[in-house]
Structure 1
Amino acid sequence: MKKVFYYLKPYLPRMTLGVSIKFAGSLMDLLLPWILSYMIDEVVPKRDVGLIALWGAAMVLASVVAVVTNILANRMASWVAQHTTESLRHDLFSKISYLSCSQIDEYSIPSLESRLTSDTYNIHQMIGMMQRLGIRAPILLLGGILITLTLDPVLTLVLVCTLPFIGFAVFTISRKGIPLYVDLQRGVDSMVRTVRENISGIRVIKALSKTEYEKERFAGVNAEVVRREKKAGMTMALSNPLMNLFLNGGLTAVIIVGAFRVNSGLTQAGKIIAFLSYFTIILNAMMSITRMFVMYSRGSASAARIAEVLDTPIDLKVSPAEQEKTSYHVEFDHVSFSYRKKEYNVQDISFRLKRGETLGIIGATGCGKSTLMSLLMRLYDADRGVIQIAGRKLDSIPTEELHTKFGVVFQNDVLFADTIYENIDFGRHLPREEIEKAARCAQAMEFISSLPDGFSHMLTPKGTNLSGGQKQRLLVARALAGRPEILILDDSSSALDYKTDSLLRQALRQEYSGVTTIIIAQRISSILHADHILVLEDGRELGYGSHEDLLKTCEIYREISRSQMGERGAGQTGPGTPVEAECCKEVS
């Protein structure tokens, strides 16, 4: 809750004004029964119509003031709640954006989405209700008790005897309720995860006719959320009937004692009517406090989850280090890494690239190819070994500077619901000529020109109105447009035909010859002419060298080459290989 109070600080003056207005309105509410009692016991017996009209006008004025002040204070409370939640949501989104990939893996994306949406909504509700009811309800409760003490101390003591029971019930129920709401939010995380999986994989689900299966799976997760919400709701709902029991029991005792006191001449009928009015006010105030505790329980559980993210320390710290003199641009020196810190996903990887050289990485699915690129971009920190760029260790380069060095196409990359131009520019405000050059090099200009709107053509979310090959070409254009030092293409040509793939590689050599390029591929033809080729298996380096060297020294690479290019391709390179010969013929 400390985090919430921190975000409320800028709005304290407005909150203070709202509290003052709410206080004035609450006093008017408390004044009305007293005026009614005074009129019944003192004014009406005098039979003075003018005096009755005067006090009646006072009641009307008090009512109007109470209504106006409460509306005004509630509007101010809503304004504070909206802007506080807006600031909190902004900072939470910003914090999530700067979390390292390992931290995001630890929290999980569905959990972060839930904290950014439902948890911030719970805090919004809590802040608004605490301002609306957190001031008014205690004033009405304490003010009602104090005024009834002036009316009839004996009857007030009868009522006050019920308050310890009510306080104990509220405290006990709230203490049990908060952990239940934390558990409920974890259930919401699971439901969000299931929904994300279904939306992302909707085509696969439909293609395999698994709609009913997924409906049953969601029904199970949904039922679990309902069960947790029901348990928390039923626990917190005990407060209402318990309060009604204690307060109505007190009211019964008040009526009985009051009847004897009126019959004995110890009190007046107007005071009894006023006392019952104040009792109703006190009852409603206690109900409001109960609602406030329920909302506080949800809000505090959500606040703890949000504070957990906001208080997460920076994982990838920048450590000052001197730049070494080296002729190499990218260096991996005995690098090992594990996602779960149990066994290495990549182990003892070493290679060196000079500026402008090309490295091809090939290997079976899950062998650690993409992991190496994540380490190079410092999305994760290596557990062992050293990674350097131009003689500088990765952990000595500020994140903003480091990431500007890269142009990258991820294996599962994303296009946004915007124009083709904006998807390539990606908010970098690049010159149009650079964007057009990148599109030509990526072999995307042909299909862009054929569209009615050209670069202004609007894409659907994730670029679903483009083919797989068109999307990959746009993603390559985005990576090239910023003129990076290091270009990473992670399986970015899998949807391209051989001719387009060959044209792309030729354009890269001609237009971006000074860019150090790392190509992760499943096809040998995509990395055939790379300066160096790294062969991985189960996270280990099985071979490193040129295509010709690996055909002689690496059995795994030779098998891949034989399976993809035939017997002739396994022992011959260049245009003589079947695949390359066809590509070269088409290009020429």
Structure 2
Amino acid sequence: MVKFSGTVMDLLLPWILAYIIDEVVPEADIARVVQWGLVMVVCAFIAVLGNVTANRMASSVARDSMRVLRNDTFTAIMNLSCGQVDNFSQSTLISRMTSDTYNIHQIMNSMQRMGVRAPILLIGGIIVTMTLDPVLSAILASTLPFLAIVVIYVAKKGIPLYNTHQKASDVMIGRVRESITGIRVIKALSKGDYERERFENINLDVVEKEKKAGIAMALTNPVMNFLLNVGWVMIIFVGAVRVNAGLTAPGKIIAFLTYFTIILNAMLSVTRLFVMFSRAGSSAERIEEILQARSDIKNQDANDNKSCDESLPYIVFDNVSFSYNGNVDNLSDISFSLEKGQKLGIIGATGSGKTTIINLLMRFYDVSSGKIFIDGKDIRDYDVGVLREKFGAVFQNDIIFEDSVSENIKLGRNITDENMKKAAKASCIDSHISQMDEGYDSFLAIRGNNLSGGQKQRMLISRAIAGNPEILVLDDSSSALDYKTDAAIRKNIDEMGKNTTTIIVAQRVSSVLDCDKIIVIDEGRIAACGNHDKLLKTCAIYARISSLQSGITQ
């Protein structure tokens, strides 16, 4: 309403000017001229005040809407399963959270400003001009169908081009992210020029696609300017003839030209809106894909009240198979069991499927066939949140956040300072924390760049054990630790959580030799299962790994 009032005042000003020229001035009444001049000043003031107020309100609405949209998009991304994140890719998720939401913000802001003002000026200007001079209005109206054809054609062509451009941008973001993550490797191998060349090729592709979209959308302004200026010339010519013939008044021609300028600017504003709408429409579709996506790890199918089979061991893998791509199995016929409080070691070659077992146990992915039980109940009968609260985990390439030491250990969980310090002591990181300037309040750099590799792993282990989990998962968590520290941490963990079921995924035989059960994985299958002594005698793969690691076997 505020924007409407200000815009109507803009439409009244040329009409009042025409009235003064044609009706008031010929009477030579200065008082009436001043009176109507003051009316114009009031209208101008209301127009400025209304438009400024409306623009401020529009900016606030766009800002708050984007805050909600970004929050909803981030929440939707966090709720995606690992498989869905793999399908979307991290680079496109980053792009949709940043550039796509920015495009939506732009159109929301512009629609509330130009989107309200331009149609009122356009339609209102046409209506007023028809009351001033129907003949000249007919000339103006004759240009409108051509303008509509241009707008519709360009908008129809622009959206697919912007879709293509956004996909190219996703690829570029992925390349940048990859290069920044691996910058140390790039520098170490002196491959800066090679990476710059790879980036340049992707960047040129993005530029080329953006140029095509830009050229298509840029046709609107010159074409519309040409059509409207042709109409303007015709109006001036016809208007001059009609004034000379006494069929209309000079004031009406002046007002008509002013309204024509208003209509011209309104049409250009509508055109700009179509350009922005084309880009925003593409972005909206990409964001909608995220918001409409529902995790294929479904909470709503959970049944936490379902009875448990108490005769089953605490953890059971029952003939489990799984494939990431749906074609070739990454795991086949995995079966084993583990009693509560026992320790399981998983060892095998790189890429054999060790981490995949952990991903299935924590239900980051659902099994292709078979079943997994925890505490006598199929994990698919648990609410996902309840299931994962049972775990404390350290994953391969796990992350340290840019936050304080205490927050990196607690990670938003209801963990007391006492338990936090016990966990830090058990993971042998407490001595390093005490040497830091502010102790547990000291800030860590992003990805823990101010920590060594061993310090990172010990910090991550303290995070995993601080919550006193029922199941502790250590996935290659000691690769940067020396043997003495590794052994000390394993001993501390055993003493700290005697009832905790522990699963250790490792490359070192020393990390698993004291486990109650050790599984040897080979090409997605269990090659052997037993304790250290048994496997040395019965499993050639395990014996070979052990013999290659000097000092491990006696």
TM-score (norm 2): 0.98
1:130 pairs with one of 101, 111, 127: 111
The corresponding residue for 2:469 is 484
The corresponding residue for 2:382 is 397
The corresponding residue for 1:177 is 158
The corresponding residue for 1:231 is 212
1:344 pairs with one of 288, 310, 329: 329
How far apart are residue 490 of structure 1 and its match?
Answer: 0.5
1:73-112 matches, within 5 Å, as 73-112=54-93
Which structure 2 segments of 5+ residues have no match?
none
Cα deviation, 1:400-426, whole Å, max 9, x if unaligned, reads 111110000011111111111111111
How far apart are residue 489 of structure 1 and its match?
Answer: 0.3
SS for the counterpart of 1:407 is strand
The corresponding residue for 1:365 is 350
The corresponding residue for 2:432 is 447
1:166 aligns with 2:147: yes
SS for the counterpart of 1:418 is coil
Would you identify which runs of 4 or more consecutive aligned residues in structure 1 move more than 3 Å?
Answer: 319-322
SS for the counterpart of 1:340 is coil
Structure 2 CA distance for aligned equivalents of residues 323 and 349 of structure 1: 22
1:215 aligns with 2:196: yes
SS for the counterpart of 2:451 is coil
How far apart are residue 439 of structure 1 and its match?
Answer: 0.9
The corresponding residue for 2:255 is 274
1:355 pairs with one of 313, 317, 340: 340
SS for the counterpart of 1:342 is coil
How far apart are residue 452 of structure 1 and its match?
Answer: 3.1
1:503 pairs with one of 488, 491, 496: 488
1:465 aligns with 2:450: yes
SS for the counterpart of 1:147 is helix
1:514 aligns with 2:495: no
1:491-570 matches, within 5 Å, as 491-565=476-550
1:40 pairs with one of 8, 17, 21: 21
Structure 2 CA distance for aligned equivalents of residues 233 and 126 of structure 1: 17
Structure 1 CA distance for aligned equivalents of residues 390 and 419 of structure 2: 16
1:193-272 matches, within 5 Å, as 193-272=174-253
How far apart are residue 191 of structure 1 and its match?
Answer: 1.4
Q: Which amino acid aligns with 1:480?
A: I
Q: Which amino acid aligns with 1:160?
A: A
SS for the counterpart of 1:489 is strand
Q: Which amino acid aligns with 1:276?
A: L
Q: Which amino acid aligns with 1:300?
A: G
Cα deviation, 1:137-187, whole Å, max 9, x if unaligned, reads 111011111111111000000110000010011011101111111111111
Q: Which amino acid aligns with 2:42?
A: L
Cα deviation, 1:505-547, whole Å, max 9, x if unaligned, reads 1112222121100001111011011111111111111111111
1:430 aligns with 2:411: no
The corresponding residue for 1:14 is none
Structure 2 CA distance for aligned equivalents of residues 394 and 333 of structure 1: 12
How far apart are residue 429 of structure 1 and its match?
Answer: 2.9
How far apart are residue 209 of structure 1 and its match?
Answer: 1.0
The corresponding residue for 2:39 is 58
SS for the counterpart of 1:161 is helix
How far apart are residue 327 of structure 1 and its match?
Answer: 4.6
- Greater CA drift, 153-162 or 197-206: 197-206
How far apart are residue 43 of structure 1 and its match?
Answer: 1.2
- Greater CA drift, 428-437 or 353-362: 428-437
How many residues are paired up?
A: 550
Q: Which amino acid aligns with 1:485?
A: E
SS for the counterpart of 2:549 is helix
The corresponding residue for 1:11 is none
SS for the counterpart of 1:366 is coil
Q: Which amino acid aligns with 1:434?
A: N
Q: Which amino acid aligns with 1:350?
A: S
SS for the counterpart of 1:275 is helix
The corresponding residue for 1:8 is none
The corresponding residue for 2:393 is 408
Structure 2 CA distance for aligned equivalents of residues 24 and 450 of structure 1: 66
SS for the counterpart of 1:26 is helix
The corresponding residue for 1:152 is 133
Structure 1 CA distance for aligned equivalents of residues 153 and 270 of structure 2: 14
% of aligned pairs identical?
A: 53
How far apart are residue 253 of structure 1 and its match?
Answer: 1.1
**Contact 1:326 1:390 (C-alpha < 8 Å) held by counterparts:** no
Structure 2 CA distance for aligned equivalents of residues 134 and 304 of structure 1: 21
How far apart are residue 54 of structure 1 and its match?
Answer: 1.1
RMSD over aligned CA atoms reads: 1.1
Q: Which amino acid aligns with 1:515?
A: T
How far apart are residue 73 of structure 1 and its match?
Answer: 0.5
Structure 2 CA distance for aligned equivalents of residues 166 and 478 of structure 1: 64
How far apart are residue 314 of structure 1 and its match?
Answer: 3.0
How far apart are residue 338 of structure 1 and its match?
Answer: 0.7
Which structure 1 segments of 5+ residues have no match?
1-19, 571-576, 578-588
Cα deviation, 1:456-477, whole Å, max 9, x if unaligned, reads 2211111111111011001000
Q: Which amino acid aligns with 1:244?
A: N
**Contact 2:84 2:295 (C-alpha < 8 Å) held by counterparts:** no
Structure 2 CA distance for aligned equivalents of residues 327 and 512 of structure 1: 22
Structure 2 CA distance for aligned equivalents of residues 136 and 473 of structure 1: 61
Structure 2 CA distance for aligned equivalents of residues 192 and 324 of structure 1: 49
1:310 aligns with 2:291: yes
Structure 2 CA distance for aligned equivalents of residues 60 and 234 of structure 1: 42
Structure 2 CA distance for aligned equivalents of residues 455 and 363 of structure 1: 37
The corresponding residue for 1:381 is 366
Structure 2 CA distance for aligned equivalents of residues 245 and 197 of structure 1: 47
- Greater CA drift, 274-283 or 256-265: 256-265
1:141 aligns with 2:122: yes
Structure 1 CA distance for aligned equivalents of residues 227 and 312 of structure 2: 83
Structure 1 CA distance for aligned equivalents of residues 127 and 428 of structure 2: 82
Q: Which amino acid aligns with 1:486?
A: I
Cα deviation, 1:262-303, whole Å, max 9, x if unaligned, reads 111111111111111000000000000001111111111111
Structure 2 CA distance for aligned equivalents of residues 248 and 138 of structure 1: 20
1:182-193 matches, within 5 Å, as 182-193=163-174
SS for the counterpart of 2:224 is helix
TM-score (norm 1): 0.92
Structure 1 CA distance for aligned equivalents of residues 420 and 312 of structure 2: 31
Q: Which amino acid aligns with 1:385?
A: G
Q: Which amino acid aligns with 2:391?
A: F
1:475 pairs with one of 432, 457, 460: 460
